[in-house]
Amino acid sequence: MKLAIVGATGLVGQEVLQVLAERNVEFDELLPVASARSVGKSVEFKGTSYTIIGMEEAVALKPDIAIFSAGGSTSLEWAPKFADVGCVVVDNSSAWRMSPEHKLIVPEINGESLRIDDRIIANPNCSTIQMVMALAPLHKNYKIKRLVVSTYQSVTGTGKAAVDQLMGERNGTPTDPVYPHKIDMNVLPHIDVFMDNGYTKEEMKMVNETRKILGDDSIQITATAVRLPVMGGHSESINVEFHQDYDLDEVRTLLENTDGVVIEDDVANNVYPMPVNAHQKDDVFVGRLRRDDSSPNTLNMWVVADNLRKGAATNAVQIAEYLAASNLVY
């Protein structure tokens, strides 16, 4: 197995390397790939230094799997070139997510839909992944009618420059801003660009990707995505209306028995999911489970996950593991 990490120097690329090490993923050769300005530099993996190579060299080496974390435009240009030499691309950008020809995969939910001819596989948006992880078992049992979600998202979702902006503002050493306003001691109801319908792209990603992953276009979804001056993970307040009534104890049991989901819901002892506790963990944490007394068949929940882990790097690595274990790599 020859594994390429495209965008190896970025926040997600570095997280991918860490996840690979932690999970002891087996492969024979590692190819760290980055933009021209990083070629010749090195990255560390399990105590060994690896020299970063460029795109053309990586394609010529014909990796078996390439995990892309280099942005949409890079993926649109280069993912097909990798696929043409027999590589399976697992892409972290939004480039292929809503393409009818490409699968949008969360392994625990729809990994079984992958086939040998899937050469470019889309990794969902970080906010979508954690939400569908909590909702998929409930949709299977009760069928979701409508979702109302508000997100509280970490600056790490924007990248290193956003982390630098936050810490620079906090420490009095300002950097070039990536947000249109100050982020420290502030809240921005604005993630990605605004669209003609008044929603942002981030909000519409959650709408469209959720329907695609759950395989149900009938689900009514509305989202508000908000950036907070926090690091460690994204939080979501989710109000979900089902077509049929549910039993709250059964909901807890379903979630407790879902791989990758952890219940933290003991309000008597102030136990509920928080980004500070989700940081560097691969699970999706669910709490504040309670009935919505204002609407029938409706549940409130609070969902938190590290957006760089299950929301990006871990899910991508899990897809690669699934491909290898299912003999979907040639």
208 within domain boundaries: yes
Residue 87 among the catalytic residues: no
For residue 296, what pLDDT is reported?
97
Could you tell me if 133 and 112 lie in one domain? no
Could you tell me if 178 and 64 lie in one domain? no
* Residue 24 main-chain phi, psi, to 5 deg: 50, 45
Helix H or strand E segment including 219:
none
Number of domains in the chain: 2
Q: What is the pLDDT of residues 105-138, one digit of tens each?
A: 999 999 999 999 999 999 999 999 999 999 999 9
Could you tell me if 244 and 162 lie in one domain? yes
Could you tell me if 280 and 160 lie in one domain? yes
Options 126, 139, 190, 243, the catalytic residue: 126
The pTM of the full predicted model, rounded to 2 decimals, is 0.95
Query: Which residues, 6+ apart, have CB-to-CB distance to 313 below 8 Å?
Result: 12, 15, 16, 18, 19, 69
Q: What is the pLDDT of residues 134-185, one digit of tens each?
A: 999 999 999 999 999 999 999 999 999 999 999 999 999 999 999 999 999 9
Could you tell me if 166 and 114 lie in one domain? no
Could you tell me if 63 and 77 lie in one domain? yes
CATH code of residue 252: 3.30.360.10
Could you tell me if 234 and 156 lie in one domain? yes
330 within domain boundaries: no
Domain that holds residue 120: 2-124+312-325
Strands (E), 57-161: 65-68, 88-91, 120-122, 144-153
Options 87, 102, 139, 234, the catalytic residue: 234
CATH code of residue 74: 3.40.50.720
Could you tell me if 132 and 250 lie in one domain? yes
Could you tell me if 28 and 165 lie in one domain? no
Q: What is the pLDDT of residues 28-81, one digit of tens each?
A: 999 999 999 999 999 999 999 999 999 999 999 999 999 999 999 999 999 999
Could you tell me if 118 and 200 lie in one domain? no
Could you tell me if 43 and 82 lie in one domain? yes
Tell me if 312 sits within 8 A of 12, measured CB to CB. Answer: yes
User: Considering only CA atoms, which of 121, 123, 125, 149 is closest in space to residue 135?
Assistant: 149
Enumerate the β-bridge partners of residue 5.
Answer: 32, 67
User: Considering only CA atoms, which of 227, 210, 208, 242 is closest in space to residue 150?
Assistant: 227
